[in-house]
Structure 1
Amino acid sequence: MKLWQKENTSTSQLIETFTVGRDKEFDLLLAPYDVQGSIAHVTMLGEVGLMEKDEAEKAVEALQQIAAEIEEGGFKIDENVEDVHSQVELLLTQRVGDIGKKIHSGRSRNDQVAVDIKLYLRAEVKAVKDEVAELFDLLLQQSEKYKNVLLPGYTHLQIAMPSSFGLWFGAYAESFVDDLEMLAAAYRITNKNPLGSGAGYGSSFPLNRRRTTELLNFASLNHNSVYAQMTRGKTEKAVAMGLSCIAATLSKLAMDCCLYMNQNFGFITFPSELTTGSSIMPHKKNPDVFELIRAKCNRIQSTPNELTLLLNNLPSGYHRDLQLTKEILFPAIEELKACLQLCRLMLTNIQVKESILLDQKYKYLFTVEAVNDLVNRGIPFREAYKQIGDDVEGGNFAFDVTKPLAHTHEGSISNLCNKEISEEMQKVLAQFD
C-alpha cells in the first residue's frame, strides 16, 4: 500500500527497494509520534467541520488503540506497506472503514513526517538532557568527594601546575552546562509545529494550525508553510550540533581517563570487572570502555558535517534526500545515550590515587608557587621568575610540597564554585520545561 499509488500503475521492485532503503527500520521509532500527530490532526478536522464530530471521535478512539499497541510492542509495518504513515492509515481504515480515508485531508506526507520527526527529536533531546544531568550530578559529587586530592596539571602534556581531582571533575561538570545550552537551543528549534503546512504550500482547507500546536504541546508553530518544510534537515542539524558538543566533552573526558589509567601516570584505577584483559599479557587492564566512548563520540561529532553534506545546496521544497537524515541522526542519538550511561557507570566506580604530588618527578609543578611566595615577600614578579628559573636550571630548586596551597579565588583548588556551577545548570535545565 502506498498513499500516492493510483489504479493501474506500479513501481519497479528495484526502484521501490532503493527508494525505501532503511526507512521502515527508522519509521518504527516514529510510530508513536505518527499516531500522536494524527490524533491532533483528526481532532482539529472534527472541530473545523472537515470531519463529522462523531467520525473524528471514532477515528481518535481507534488511533488511541493503535498507540497502545505500539507501546506494547505489537506494531509492525507490513511487507507490502511503504511506511509508517501508510501502515497507520491502513490499520485505521480496517477498523473504522471510510472514516479512516478522511484523516489525510489538509495533510501531506511532507508535513506528516516533519511533525513525526520533531516530536521524536523533542522527546529524544529531553532524554539526552536527562542523561547529561545525571552525569553532571555525579561529576559534582566526585568533585566534592575528592576536592582535597591533588593532581598534576599539564600544558602541552608537560607538567605545569598543581591541580586537583576536585578541579578535574568540576571542569567537566561545567563543560556540560555549556553543552546543554547548545542542546537547549536545538530543543527550542525543534519545539515548533510544522503540521498543516501540507506539501509545503499550505492548504485551501480552513485548518486550525494553532489548535494542533496546542494539542501537540509545541511551544509555537512554524508560521510560514514554505519554511515549515525548510525545517526538514535544518532541525536535524541543529540537534546534531547539540549532540556533538556533548560528545566533544565526553570524548575529552574519556581521553583523560585513558591517560590517567596508564601506568606511567597511575592516577586512577577501576575494578577489574569494568576493564578488559589481553589474550597474551596476563597483567593487562585495558580502558576499552573509555576508548570506545572516545571513538563513538568522535563519530558523533561528525554528524553535523555529514548532514551538511547531505543538505547543502538543496533548494526550498521537499526532496527525497531528506529521507536519509534519519539514518544519520537517529543512531547517533542512541550511541550518545549509551556513552553517557557507561561513563556514569565508570565514574561511579573510579578509584583515585592519594599523595600523587609527593613523588619527586612532580617537584617542578611548584615553581609558580615558589615565584608567588617571592612576590608576596615584595620581590617584583619578573625578578622572582628569573630567580626561580635560575634555580631550576642549576638543579637547585626545592619547595616544601607538604605546604598547603593558598588558592582561594573563584574556580581554584580551594574554591571550586561547585554551588555556582550547579545553579547555572539548573537555569539551563529549566529551558527544557
Structure 2
Amino acid sequence: MKLWDKGTSTDKKIESFTVGKDRELDLFLAPFDVVGTMAHTRMLASVGLLSDKDLGLLLPALKDLYKNTQEGDFQIEEGVEDVHSQVEMELTRKLGDVGKKVHSGRSRNDQVLLDLKLFTRDRLMQVTQSVEQLFAVLQKRSEEHKNDLLPGYTHLQVAMPSSFGLWFGAYAESLVDDMHLMLGAWKITNQNPLGAAAGYGNSFPLDRRLTTELLGFDDLSYNVVYAQMGRGKMERSVAMALSSVASTLSRLAVDACLYMSQNFGFIKLPDEFTTGSSIMPHKKNPDVFELLRARCNRLIDVPQQIAMITGNLPSGYFRDLQLIKEIFIPAFDEILSCLELMTLAVEKMDVVSEIMNNELYKYAFSVEEVNRRVLKGVPFRDAYKQVGLEIEKGKFSPNTSGVQHTHEGSIGNLCNAEIKKKMQDVIGQFSFDRVRDAIGNIIT
C-alpha cells in the first residue's frame, strides 16, 4: 500500500531502492505516528472536518494501535511503504471510510517531520537522564578522592600536581557544557511542524496552535516553508549535541586507557571488566574504554554525515532527506549505551593512592617550590630561575606534602556544589514535565 498510489505499478527494483530501510526504521517512529494522528484527528474535529461520531470511533482505534506499538505487536507489512501507510491502513481495515479521513490537512512530509520531532524529544529525555546519572557518579568519585594526588600533564610531560578530585570533577563539568548544547537542540526540536503539509500549508482551516498544545510543544514552526526546511537541520543540531557528549566520553576513555597501562598505573578496573590475551597470560585489557572511544568517535562524525546530505539542497522537500534516518535514529541507542557503560566503569574503577610519592613525579612539585619562595618575598622570576638551576644540577628536593590550593576550582577547593548547581540550572530549563503530561493526556 502507498498513500500516493493512483493505480500505476512501480518497478520492483525502483521500489526497493527508494523505500530503502524506511520500513525497518519506521518501527521506531510508529508510536509517535499514532500519537501525532491522535492530536491531528482531535484538531480536525475541532474545526469541523471530522464529526464527533468519527472522532469517537478513531480515538479508541488509535489507542489500540498505540498499545500495539508499546507491546511489540505493531508491524509494517510486506508491500506497505512506511509507518504512515500502515497506520492509515489499519484504521481503514477497522473503521472503513472513517479511517481514510485522517490524512485530511496532512502530507507525509509534515507527518514524518512530526514523528521525528516526537521521537527525538523522547530520546533526548532519555539521554539527558543518562547524562545526569554519569554526572552524579563523577561528582561522587570526585569527592571521594579529592585528596588523592596524581600527576597533571602538558604535552604528555609531567607538569604539576593534580588530583583525582580534579580529574573526575573536570569531566562532570564538561557534561554541564554538553547539556547547554543539548538544551539548544531541545528548543529547536520542540516546535510543532504539523500543518505545514508538503511545505506550503493547506487550504483547510487548520488549528495549528491546538495540535501544539495537545502534543506539549513549546511553540510552532510558524512559516510552513521553514518547517519543511527544518528537516535535516533539526537532526544535525541534535547530532551536534550528541557529538559533544560523545567527545567528553571519548576523552575520558582515552585518559582511562592511558591511566590503566603499567606505564602509568593510576587506576584499575575489576577483572570482570577487562579482557585477556590468547597468548599473553598476564594481560588485562581495557577493551571497554577502547570501544567507548571508538563508538564515541563514530558519533562525533554524525553531524558531518548529515551535513553532507543536506549541504546543497534548496528549499522544499527532496528524497535525499530520507537517508538521514539511517544515520540519525541509531545514534541514540549508541550514545545511551556509551553513557550506561561509562557510568558503570567509573563507578567500579579503583583509584591508586600515593602515586605522587614516586620519584618519577618529583619535578611536578617545582611550581609549588617556586610559589613557596615567592610567598617569602623572592621575586617570581628570581625564584623560577633558582629552582630551575637546582633541577639542572640535580639538587632539587621537593616538598611533596600539603599541596592544598585555595582558589575556586583547584585541588583544595573543587567547587563541586557550584558545578552541581550549574547542571541543575540547565536541566531546569527543559520542558520535560510539560511534554510528559501532554503525551500522557493524549494517550489516555
Distance of 1:276 and 1:430 partners within structure 2: 41
Please tell me whether the aligned partners of residues 213 and 219 of structure 1 are also in contact (alpha carbons under 8 angstroms).
Answer: yes
Task: Please name the residue that 1:208 is paired with.
Answer: 207
Query: How far did 1:57 drift?
Result: 2.0
TM-score (norm 2): 0.97
Deviation digits for residues 309-365 of structure 1 (CA, Å, limit 9, x no counterpart): 010110101100000111111111111110000011111110010100000110000
Displacement of 1:406 in angstroms is 3.0
Give SS of 1:81's match. coil
- What is residue 423 of structure 2 aligned with on the other side? 425
- How many residues are matched? 431
- Name the amino acid aligned to 1:173: A
The residue aligned with 2:384 is 385
8 Å CA contact retained: 2:369, 2:399: no
Contact 1:139–1:169 under 8 Å retained in 2: yes
Alpha-carbon separation, structure 2, partners of 1:198 and 1:400: 72
Match of 2:328 in 1: 329
Q: Which residue of 2 aligns with 1:15?
A: 14
| TM-aligned CA deviation for residue 427 of structure 1 | 0.6
**What secondary structure does 1:404 align onto?**
coil
Partner of 1:295: 294
What SS does the corresponding residue of 1:153 show, helix, strand or coil?
A: strand
- Does the 8 A contact of 1:59 with 1:92 survive in 2? yes
**Structure 1 position 12, deviation (Å):** 0.3
Match of 1:410 in 2: 408
Deviation at 1:24, TM superposition (A): 1.0
Indicate conservation of the 8 Å contact 1:43/1:57, yes or no. Answer: no
Task: Note if 1:358 corresponds to 2:338.
Answer: no
User: Does the 8 A contact of 1:250 with 1:294 survive in 2?
Assistant: yes
Alignment-mate amino acid for residue 61 of structure 2: A
Quote the offset at 1:14 in angstroms: 0.2
Conserved? CA contact 2:243–2:300, under 8 Å: yes
In 2, the alpha carbon distance for the partners of 1:305 and 1:392 equals 48
**In structure 2, what is the Cα distance between the partners aligned to 1:330 and 1:378?**
62
Give me the identity figure in percent: 58
Unaligned runs of 5+ in 1: none
Distance in structure 1 (CA, Å) of the matches to 2:276 and 2:398: 40
Secondary structure at 1:154 match in 2: strand
Q: 2:430 aligns to what SS in structure 1? A: coil
- Give the distance between the partners of 1:57 and 1:356, measured in 2 at CA: 71
Q: Partner of 2:152: helix, strand, or coil?
A: strand
Partners of 2:140 and 2:313 in 1: CA distance: 47
Q: Return the alpha-carbon distance in structure 2 between the equivalents of residues 268 and 406 of structure 1.
A: 22
Matched residue type, 2:331: A
CA distance in 1 between partners of 2:288 and 2:398 (Å): 39
**Contact 2:148 2:353 survives alignment (8 Å):** yes
Q: Deviations over 1:366-386 (max 9, x none)?
A: 000000011000000000000
Residues 239-283 of structure 1 show CA distances to partners (whole Å, capped at 9, x for unaligned) of: 000001000000000000000000010000011000000011111
**Which residue identity is paired with 1:118?**
K
Asked whether the equivalents of residues 406 and 414 of structure 1 are also in contact (C-alpha less than 8 Å), the reply is yes
Cα distance in 2 between the residues matched to 1:57 and 1:317: 36
Q: CA deviation at 1:400?
A: 2.1
Does the 8 Å CA contact 1:240/1:329 hold for their aligned counterparts?
Answer: yes
Pairs within 5 Å for 1:236-251: 236-251=235-250
Report the counterpart of residue 128 of structure 1 in structure 2: 127
Structure 1, residues 212-257: CA drift from partner, whole Å, max 9, x if none?
Answer: 0011110101000000100000000000000010000000000000
